[in-house]
A = this chain, B = another copy of it.
Amino acid sequence: MSEDQNLLERRQAALGPGAPLFYDRPLHIVRGEGCWVWDAEGRRFLDAYNNVPHVGHCHPHVTEALCRQASLLNIHTRYLHEGIVDYAERLTATFPDGLERVMFCCTGTEANELALRIARAVSGHQGVLVSDFSYHGNSGGLAALTTGLPTPEPFAPFGRAVPVPNPFRWQAAGDAADLVAHHLALVDEAIASLDAAGYGVAAVLFDSIFSTEGLPNVPADYIRGVAERVRRAGGLYIADEVQPGFGRMGDALWGFEAADMVPDIVTLGKPMGNGHPIAAVVTRPELADAFARDALYFNTFAGNPVSAAVGRAVLDVIAGERLMERAADTGRHLQEGLGKLATADPRLGDVRGRGLFAAIEMVDRRGEPDAATARAVVNTMRDRGVLISRIGPDDNVLKIRPPLTFGQVEADLLVATLAEALAGTRASA
């Protein structure tokens, strides 16, 4: 631990005390494989948190594609290259008809920036709806549209953060009004207020699984209602698939598909390159062309031959190892296990999620969010060798989002460790 302490101090001097680290006792990871990571002392941890290594840490097929192309050519995209075109075709083929144009970026931040630029250029409006406590990126523009993370920027005058329906909290509050109607009325108000302020509505930007918001089970009716209202106001629906995308939902490759609604723009990020910085905007040709009439968009690194090779390899593995189906199976098994725990332990107020992305709302005796217990559980599980995290407006929602190679054996280990952590936390309370 003294070596780690030394490293921590060097880190704080070079990167600053503000550079975030997970856990009360930071983890010093040196190696990863599948859904396992090892710390500097050789101790193994089950990774039930990380979506960057989407198809498993250091997947050999992806690493090989990376190394092969990096040895051959690593350049920007202002030359013709088969790799980027192949990848673009394969990627767009996974989307509903119409969404057949891709613009590559390097990060989810860049993709969401580009999506908003397109929406504004096409609509001629400035206003943006986001959900309350969402987060879509680290640029100045996106920082001004988050209520989910501390930022020095005031919330944008052209932004409106609408609370999305959370059936669990709604029931807990005993509200008798119609959940969807109530929340759609808030959207109507937000649109009217953007119109009144002269901004109009350029877009709604929603994470398809509402990750930062704590994975509330947002009804599909609500999503369709929002899309309809925003379009009626002349705006576009942007689906942020940085967290739900690439098969994690189990039932579909893209999170938006569950709402039976086709977005105007889709943004992709993190899991796309299994750790390699690649992201994209997928949209309809007429929207991309309208934007391109007035804009020269160029992104040096984006979609270069190496990124494209990595992206293709990730698609290979998702299909070849049937990871979407695996996410569905493991996810179902995990939900069952977590559900059983919840039946026995009232502190697990709600178990929810889709595919291989689960959330557990921790509550106190009065049913109120319990961040302290959630924090204790996350840290105890880390000490017991299983990595998860927590999210949500009240920081009380356990977040379980492992690499898609996670199987039933690993799910059982996670559930057993959670049970132990809960038992330990109870004893110490």
Contact with B along A398-413 (1 / 0, CB 8 A): 0000000000000000
Copies per assembly:
2
Assess whether A58 is in contact with B74, with CB atoms less than 8 Å apart.
yes
Q: Which of A102-110, A325-333, A342-350, A353-361 contacts B (4 or more CB under 8 A)?
A: A102-110
Query: CB of A136 within 8 A of chain B?
Result: no
Please name all residues of chain B whose beta carbon is closer than 8 Å to the beta carbon of A153 when the two chains form the complex.
117, 120-121
Instruction: Give CA–CA (A140, B27) in the complex, Å.
Output: 36
- Of chain B, the residue at the smallest CB distance from A73 is B32
Where chain A touches its partner, the secondary structure class is: mixed
Assess whether B140 is in contact with A113, with CB atoms less than 8 Å apart.
yes
Q: How many of chain A's residues touch chain B, expressed as a range?
A: 35 or more
Interface residues of A in 7-36 (CB under 8 A from B): 7-8, 10-11, 13-22, 26-32
Interface residues of A in 259-281 (CB under 8 A from B): 269-270, 274-277
- Of chain B, the residue at the smallest CB distance from A285 is B16
Assess whether A140 is in contact with B138, with CB atoms less than 8 Å apart.
no
Please name all residues of chain B whose beta carbon is closer than 8 Å to the beta carbon of A275 when the two chains form the complex.
70, 74-75, 301, 304, 306
Query: CB of A71 within 8 A of chain B?
Result: yes
| Shortest CB distance A277–B (Å) | 4
Contact with B along A39-71 (1 / 0, CB 8 A): 000000000001011000110100100110011
**One of B57, B71, B76, B101 near A14 (C-beta < 8 A):** B101
Assess whether B292 is in contact with A101, with CB atoms less than 8 Å apart.
no
Instruction: Give CA–CA (A143, B297) in the complex, Å.
Output: 9
Assess whether B102 is in contact with A120, with CB atoms less than 8 Å apart.
no
Query: CB of A175 within 8 A of chain B?
Result: no
Please name all residues of chain B whose beta carbon is closer than 8 Å to the beta carbon of A75 when the two chains form the complex.
29, 32, 37, 50, 52-53, 57, 275
**One of B4, B16, B101, B107 near A110 (C-beta < 8 A):** B107
Q: Which of A85-93, A166-174, A227-235 contacts B (4 or more CB under 8 A)?
A: A85-93
Please name all residues of chain B whose beta carbon is closer than 8 Å to the beta carbon of A147 when the two chains form the complex.
none
Interface residues of A in 277-309 (CB under 8 A from B): 277, 285, 288-289, 291-292, 294-301, 303-304, 306-307
Q: 19 A-B pairs, CB-CB below 8 angstroms? A: A14-B101, A14-B102, A15-B303, A16-B288, A16-B289, A29-B81, A50-B75, A63-B67, A63-B70, A67-B67, A106-B301, A107-B110, A107-B300, A109-B139, A117-B152, A138-B297, A270-B301, A275-B301, A277-B301
